[in-house]
Amino acid sequence: MADSIRIKAKAQGAEAEVKALITHPMETGQRKDKKTGQAIPAHFIQELVCKHNGAQVMSAQWGAAISKNPYVSFVIAGAKTGDAIEMSWVDNKGEKDSASAKVE
Amino acid sequence: MKKQIILSMLSVLGLAPLLSLASPENDLKQFQAYYIQKFPDTPFEDFSNGLYGIDKVRREEWLAMEEFPPYEPGVAIGKQLFEKHKIGSCFKNGGIGIRQNYPYFDANSGKVKNLESEILECLQKQGVDLEAEKFVAEKGKLAAISAYMAYTSRGKKFNVVIPNDDKAIAAYEKGKRFFWAKRGQLNFSCADCHIASAGQQIRSERLSASLGHPTGFPVYRKAWEIDDGNPALTGFGTLHRRYKQCNEQIRAKGHKFQSDEYLALELYETYMSNGLPVSGPSIRQ
Amino acid sequence: MQRRQFLKGTLAGSAVAVAVGAGLLSPRSVLAAWPTAAFEAKSVNDALSGLFGNTSAADSKDIEIKAPDIAENGAVVPVSVTTKIAGVTGIALLASTNNNPLAANFEFAQSVKGYVSTRIKMAKTSDVVAIVKAGDKMYTNKKNVKVTIGGCGG
């Protein structure tokens, strides 16, 4: 799923706040298709990794209880304008995506 | 019937019964004055944020969502579609910064035109097969284009015009009657909830004010995210989508999208929000 | 006898197909690291056991959970955790009455501050539980969030 990650990274003094919004169904596997009555298969991001200037700073394990179109925000001390932020995810079907942005 | 409705309207607004029909301008003054008095802590422009403008507690959750609003990817898609289908060519100013002029009364056709109806006309003019391309049902791709156009108009003050034309006044009056008339199994009018009980709770729901209703549309509703399709688009819906759903939720008849009823209601409600800034697309529950 | 065995084989095959389709048998995860037992645990304690091998977390007022008192929609509840505890290495989030309480586990490098914000699904009124890890130490706080419409899309 290309282009699924939007990153906003903003320097605030001696740190940077990183915010990411990801387009993903985060399907729990508990919902039923209205027409067929079959359960809609689970389809959710299981791992999220964030790198700051190439070094991994955050790794998250997610369950299907993270909302559809998931959002995450955290703060990196010592990050400054121009630094590189890279975010990537893998879901339970093995699908993946990644994106980069610079700290503003 | 008409007199009954006007009297009930005036009594809800706390005004001495007036037997003469008010003009749209006078209706507007009384309508807005009622809310300004009822919610003295809300700056006028903030009514454009719906319930979040009048309820401090709900506002907090809305602000948390606005940290990174879920409508942003959909607005980007709306922009792509707007450019791909040359929507700007059908509108004044290239379709940018014009949301605040809708809906309007079109003297040529004698009909109320809203933004979505003109987007659809534009697509048809370009030869787009609306069904095949899924520009249907007041959500998804159609709502995304409308969301982009609203986004480019943010901050502009609504300026719906009711010209001094019999058919225009009739459409305005039709919308006003719809708003104040009781309907459905529960015998509710729009006014019962959104004027008399604005800010209060009905079971577990807190009621929004009619002042500012249309200004945030199309909306991104958490409750609509559940639809199938591109996750970036499923939360979107237009005013008519919400009108129909609300009518059905209060166990009244839902009218068709782009029906005369909903177009007239949109004309009345949006006119009543004149002076408020465009705030669409906006997040709602 | 042959026919019965044949039918049994067919039924077993279709049961597996349905289970896979329903996402109950995930394709082998790309990440060996995804803690399946923790995410499938049905209680907060079992989830913490699965995740950290440990359930003893000290209550701490130095963990602030920001979440609405009453969620406007259980499917999308904004939650953020801020903590003054030094040396934070991770934050886990759970919703105590969800079928599977564990929602997320965040692991931080030294440079990441004790703060995380996200949006979670809550099936019904629940405690939102935050676990803050600082090396081997575990701290916890919780906040009750009321939900009037369930978040799992039913």
Query: Above 50 in pLDDT, residue C30?
Result: no
pLDDT (tens digit per residue) in B55-68: 999 999 999 999 99
B100 contacts B156 by C-beta, under 8 angstroms? yes
Per-residue pLDDT at B203: 79
Catalytic residue status for B246: yes
- The pLDDT assigned to C154 comes to 31
Q: In this predicted structure, what is the pLDDT of residue B57?
A: 93
Q: B57–C69: do the CB atoms touch at under 8 Å?
A: yes
> What value does the mean pLDDT take over residues B176-180?
97
**Average predicted confidence (pLDDT) for chain A:** 96
* B158 or B201, which is more confident: B158
ipTM, 2 dp: 0.96
In 3D space, the residue among B102, B105, B137, B122 whose CA is nearest the CA of residue B256 turns out to be: B137
Residues 6+ apart with CB under 8 A from A103: A9, A10, A11, A16, A18, A79, A80, A81, A82, A83, A84, A85
Identify which of A41, A58, A64 has the shortest CB distance to residue C22: A41
Average pLDDT over residues B267-277: 98
Residues 1-60 of C with CB under 8 A from A: 18, 21-24, 26-27, 29-31, 33-35, 39
Q: Please write the tens of the pLDDT for every residue from B114-127.
A: 999 999 999 999 99
Asked if B67's CB is within 8 angstroms of A68's CB, the reply is no
Structure token digits, residue B78: 């709306």
Distances (CA, A) of C22 to A29, B25, B118, B274, C15: 6, 58, 42, 50, 10
Give the best residue of B58, B66, B222 to mutate against chain C (max C CB count within 10 A): B222
Q: Is C19 left (phi over 0), alpha (psi -120 to 50) or beta?
A: alpha
For C39-72, b/e burial (b = at least 16 CB within 10 A) is: bebeebebbbebbbeebebeebeebbbebbeebb
- Helix, strand, coil % over all residues of chain B, rounded to 5: 50, 10, 40
8 Å CB contact between B212 and B48 = yes
Is C108 within 8 Å of A57 when comparing Cβ atoms? yes
With CA atoms as reference, report the closest residue to B219 among B31, B36, B105, B65. B65
pTM of the model: 0.89
DSSP C46: H
d(CA A44, CA A64): 6
Query: Could you report the per-residue pLDDT of B196-247, keeping only the tens digit for each?
Result: 999 998 877 899 999 999 999 999 999 999 888 999 999 999 999 999 999 9
**What's residue B1's pLDDT?**
54
Whether residue C12 is predicted with pLDDT greater than 70 in this model: the reply is: no
Q: How far is B237 from chain A (nearest CA, A)?
A: 17
Q: What is the pLDDT of residue B171?
A: 97
Residue type, A15: E
As a dihedral over the C-alpha atoms of residue B171, residue B174, residue B180, residue B184, rounded to 10 degrees, the angle is -130
Q: What pLDDT was estimated at residue B204? A: 79
Instruction: Write out chain B residues lying below 8 Å of A6, CB-based.
Output: 68, 72-73
Q: Is B19 on the interface with C (CB under 8 A)?
A: no
C68 interfaces chain A, CB cutoff of 8 Å: no
